[in-house]
Amino acid sequence: MGKPTDAKAERVLSIYSRLLQGKVIYKEEESLKYDVAQRTIQRDIADIQCFLQNQSNERAEIQTITFDRKTGGYRLETKIKNDLEPEELLSVCKILLESRALVKDEMFPVIYKLLGRYDEEEQHFVKECIRNELYHYVELNHHKKLLNNIWVLERSIKEKRYLEIRYRKMKDREEVIRKIKPVGVMFSEFYFYLTAYIDDIDKEKAFQNPDDPFPTIYRIDRLEEVRVLQEHFSVPYRDRFEEGEFRKRIQFMYGGKLRKIRFRYTGKSVDFILDRLPTAQIVQEDEKGVVIQAEVFGDGVDMWMRSQGDIVNI
């Protein structure tokens, strides 16, 4: 004899499966079929409804169980939701403008296209909320359009095509030509970056750490020329580049090694540190503050630590 929890799971999954198939569920029939009270079936339907609500937060479609008065049963309805809610639209516009990631000629059309999907009243309200930010929007000093390059780079990554780039270095403005394997496009603090492995270079001469297994980081606005080559590269599954995992460890977009750091923080809000360094963990807490350990990539963290003054001590 099975456990009651097993019987409920089987019952709920059966109802859910038939709802997905477009069938109508009748409480009386289900209660007789499973030898339970009708209110038990009602609770099962409520549990499925709760599950569907949680799922709708992750997808652009909304599924709900509705009572069909004509048939006297329950059916599943699916609605595709392509537009943001007005409050979502406002927040997205605020984030885009604060990022300053694109020049006006690219940023403003994106904002206005989003606004154009809403009725006049909602458009007017959101425009009033962001009017000051639009008026005072300051482009980054590079003044370069980026959207086309970002698209080309992402396609090259998905198709695993080699790139030949002409890149202007930040330090001495020297231009170098590289053949690279592109593996990721990322955004951090105003700038878009390309992460890639260099293919045709003598690493012993070019780098201090020739055995460094991590990709090189290029600021996309410093790419003076990008040429997509016909040649493809392959990456074994075990060696695939995972932007999400890499992103947790690289917060400052500077080259270097993967490092473990440990420091004492004496500031007012430890959330500031935990949000800034996604891999950070509190390993000790006392009257003097908290000791934090984190795994980070590159040397940029050193400059950040120095900028925090006395509240961060290595």
Q: Express each pLDDT in 36-77 by its tens digit.
A: 999 999 999 999 988 887 776 556 667 888 898 888 999 988
Cα gap 227→272, rounded to integer Å: 41
pLDDT band, residue 280 (cuts 50/70/90) = confident
Domain covering 147-241, topology: SH3 type barrels. (2.30.30)
Q: Residue 46, Cβ neighbours under 10 Å: how many?
A: 11
The whole-number pLDDT of residue 245 equals 63
Domain covering 4-80, topology: Arc Repressor Mutant, subunit A (1.10.10)
Cα gap 73→29, rounded to integer Å: 10
Amino acid at residue number 273: I
Q: Is the pLDDT of residue 210 over 80?
A: no
Spatial contact of 103 and 144, defined as CB atoms under 8 Å apart: yes
Query: Can you give the residue ranges of every domain in the chain?
Result: 4-80, 86-135, 147-241, 258-313
Q: Which residues contact 130 (CB under 8 A, 6 or more apart)?
A: 90, 93, 94, 97, 111
Q: Is the pLDDT of residue 106 over 90?
A: yes
Percentage with pLDDT > 70 across the chain: 84
